[in-house]
Chain A
Amino acid sequence: MERMNGANALVQSLIDQGVEIVFGIPGGVMIPIYDALYERPKLRNMLMRHEQGAAHAADGYSRATGKVGVCFATSGPGATNLVTGLATAYMDSIPMLAVTGQVKTTSLGKDAFQEADIVGVTMPITKHNYLLKDVADLPRTVAEALYVARTGRPGPVLIDVPADVSFAMTNYEPPGPVSPRSYKVWNEIDESALDDVARLIAEAQRPVLYVGGGVITSGASEVLTKLSEKTHILVTTTLMGKGAIPETHPHSLGMLGMHGTAYANKAVHECDLLIAVGARFDDRVTGKLAAFARKAKVIHIDIDPAEMGKTVQPDVAIVGDCKQVLEKLLDIIAPREETDWNKQIMQWRNEFPLHCPADEERLMPQCVIGKVWEMTKGEAIVVTDVGQHQMWTALFYKVTKPRRFLSSGGLGTMGYGFPASIGAQVGCPDMPVFAICGDGGFQMTLQELAPAVEHKLPIKIILLNNGYLGMVRQWQELFWNGRYSGVDISVQPDFVKLAEAYDAIGIRVDNLRDVEGALKRAMEVNDRPTIIDFRISREENVFPMIPAGQSIEEMMVNRPR
């Protein structure tokens, strides 16, 4: 037991819970907490330049390492700046802890300077949140918050700490194990449902595995791959599921959905058994729900009971940790051989392959991504922003391991990619980290170049620059008669000079011949970020595409004439 103030107790609690780094920015009511960081350097502080960047960095750290990323922000505007980052993590079920300062308890509700009801604001975008009013509750609350964030279906948790709680003295003692009575983590698996699954798989003629981020979260990649190998059932993943099975594996069909591969979507459309594992039937996956996998029986395996029947009513539902469920399934399931169904899918793959459009004149973004893949052998951590470049990366960068592809899937947060890559690089200092961004999203959070330079992070920023908010432009081209409204952002900084202004490295590439050399140069840099400004063909589109709310019948494989 040690006598200390709340701020020190907070920092000590985080240290005792195994937290090594926080991403954050101080402010008036955070000074005691930052003073405690000064006192306790075991908890590293990475000073960001905007709280949104801090939240995304914590999120990227969580995704890349599987640990819980932590961010700090001050009361009022500092806290509200976290909102986008919390919502991003919440939509993708990413564990995260945000600690915000708050005005003192006696000022709460009085519209004090820099007061915002951040607990109220973040209620719908956090898994849980706390307003910490009593310093005595502090160690247990920190332990509980981290426990809630990482268990069950993970998610972000916020603790709001009023200034007087930071100042109040307490006898600090690390708390014992926490398990709030009202918090239920599902850990029994329905054995009879497992038998039903095994039977449905044995009876199926045309099964497909549809795999989401839950498989990554639960560490079920290996067992999933084994299951696919034992049964010869091919696997398509969601954006969040990329890396759940090596995409170089012959059983991988790549991503499905709006911009999924034609063969993955055809397989799902024609299958008679859809085995959904750690996925949630998002509208970007299903398109028109009534037409989605309509010939199929559905098995749904997920840790969140509320996902069962939320969008699609499964024939068999198993609530449980994906890894545990798949392990049990692997034991009881009968092996299957390759069938005509496998051949049929392979035929679709040959009929509708993904290809980089060859063009001598213009720089094609698909080829840039293809080159990045080639030169990293698919072994880098790739973090994307949101938009066309994200979908090109999803299609052309074959991820070979879990936690190597990080992207804002559910919320689709532009500005996510670069700060998230900072968290990933900090969490995995020995891994090559590539932030693949568009010029639109990168400009939303590029202020984080400063901490990236300060901490000598050798992140490679692959800027696919077309001078457009490209995905919106694509929709306007295809569905709005080419009326380009509010999408031209060709007035922009010189990104090479911008890099140099931050003391990072800037390279410009405007043709295919120079791509390899530029990447090679960037990969040799080990003490600062590099921006490669790829001036890509401006009006290149992402294909295949199934227009929103439609079915595979409306799939466009190429630009309509």
Chain B
Amino acid sequence: MNDKARMHTITVLVENKPGVLARVSGLFARRGFNIESLAVSITDDPSVSRMTIVVSGDDSTLDQINRQTNKLIDVIKVVDYSEVPRIERELALIKVDAENQRRAEIMQIVDIFHAKIIDISETSFTIEVTGNTDKVDAIERLLTPFGIREVVRTGKIAMARGAVTAASGV
């Protein structure tokens, strides 16, 4: 057991019913588990929703999170991705000041990060970037000097590498 707090990515498959998000988030709040990010949507099976939750805590906290979450009646499965080879992605939209004389510079950064400019006005760009958390952090940092007006991030989603799935067991 590691008693150092670190980030963990867990996936929770739940019944796609009203109130399920409240049950999961309420449990986390009540038991003092810190949610860093949370992404929810339905899956290929419309009766199942998938939550990807990034939490911080030591190993015993994570163990409790898994066990307590599993106890919720609407939770079908909890998968801890912390030790699993995985792909993680998050998407961010960044609205940044883009006066004429600085546009080229910003476009260069966008290119390097394989990001996209998806909206443009006389004074701003809106940039879409996809990648792991580090990459999104990095482009955000590099764009800061230009004047960031607004940032929205989806929170992380994750999938195991290879043929295995969350439902089949990673």
Q: Give residues in A with beta carbon < 8 Å to B.
A: 119-120, 123-124, 127-128, 131, 148, 180-184, 304-306, 308-310, 313
Q: Which residues of chain B (30-61) have a CB below 8 Å from chain A?
A: 30, 60
**Would you list 18 pairs from A and B whose C-beta atoms are within 8 A, ordered by A residue?**
A119-B19, A120-B19, A120-B22, A123-B22, A124-B26, A124-B27, A127-B73, A128-B74, A148-B73, A182-B14, A184-B70, A305-B70, A305-B71, A306-B64, A308-B67, A310-B64, A313-B1, A313-B60
**B contact patch SS:** helix
Contact A123 B23 (CB under 8 A): yes
* Set of chain B residues within 8 Å of A313, measured between Cβ atoms: 1, 60
Tell me the bound Cα distance from A120 to B21 in angstroms: 12
* Set of chain A residues within 8 Å of B70, measured between Cβ atoms: 184, 305-306
Chain B, interface size category, equals 20 to 34
The residue among A181, A182, A184, A309 with the most chain B CB atoms within 10 A of its own CB is A182
In order of increasing CB-CB distance, the 3 nearest A-B pairs are: A306-B67, A128-B73, A182-B76
* Set of chain A residues within 8 Å of B26, measured between Cβ atoms: 123-124
Besides the known contacts A123-B23, A131-B18, A306-B64, 11 further A-B residue pairs in the complex with CB atoms under 8 A apart: A123-B19, A123-B22, A182-B14, A182-B15, A182-B75, A183-B73, A184-B70, A305-B67, A306-B71, A310-B64, A313-B1
Closest residue to B13 on the A side, CB-wise?
A182
Q: Which residues of chain B (119-142) have a CB below 8 Å from chain A?
A: none
Closest residue to B71 on the A side, CB-wise?
A306
B68 proximal to A (CB < 8 A)? yes
* Set of chain B residues within 8 Å of A308, measured between Cβ atoms: 67
Contact B68 A306 (CB under 8 A): yes
- The smallest beta-carbon distance between A410 and chain B, in angstroms, is 15
> Which residue of A120, A124, A304 is within 8 Å of B71 (Cβ)?
A304
Closest residue to B27 on the A side, CB-wise?
A124
Tell me the bound Cα distance from A127 to B60 in angstroms: 23
B99 proximal to A (CB < 8 A)? no
Closest residue to B69 on the A side, CB-wise?
A306
- The smallest beta-carbon distance between A82 and chain B, in angstroms, is 19
B63 proximal to A (CB < 8 A)? yes
Tell me the bound Cα distance from A313 to B58 in angstroms: 14
Contact B19 A131 (CB under 8 A): yes
Closest residue to B77 on the A side, CB-wise?
A182
> Which residue of A120, A182, A305, A309 is within 8 Å of B73 (Cβ)?
A182
Contact A309 B60 (CB under 8 A): yes
- The smallest beta-carbon distance between A101 and chain B, in angstroms, is 19
* Set of chain A residues within 8 Å of B30, measured between Cβ atoms: 124
Tell me the bound Cα distance from A34 to B5 in angstroms: 54
* Set of chain A residues within 8 Å of B74, measured between Cβ atoms: 128, 182
Q: Given the known A-B contacts A124-B26, A313-B60, are A181 and B67 also in contact in the complex, defined by CB atoms under 8 Å? A: no
Closest residue to B64 on the A side, CB-wise?
A310
* Set of chain A residues within 8 Å of B14, measured between Cβ atoms: 182
* Set of chain A residues within 8 Å of B23, measured between Cβ atoms: 123
Tell me the bound Cα distance from A124 to B26 in angstroms: 8
Tell me the bound Cα distance from A77 to B73 in angstroms: 27
* Set of chain B residues within 8 Å of A306, measured between Cβ atoms: 64, 67-68, 70-71
Closest residue to B1 on the A side, CB-wise?
A313
- The smallest beta-carbon distance between B93 and chain A, in angstroms, is 31
Tell me the bound Cα distance from A306 to B18 in angstroms: 25
- The smallest beta-carbon distance between B59 and chain A, in angstroms, is 10
Closest residue to A120 on the B side, CB-wise?
B22
Q: Given the known A-B contacts A120-B22, A127-B73, A182-B74, are A309 and B15 also in contact in the complex, defined by CB atoms under 8 Å? A: no
* Set of chain B residues within 8 Å of A131, measured between Cβ atoms: 18-19
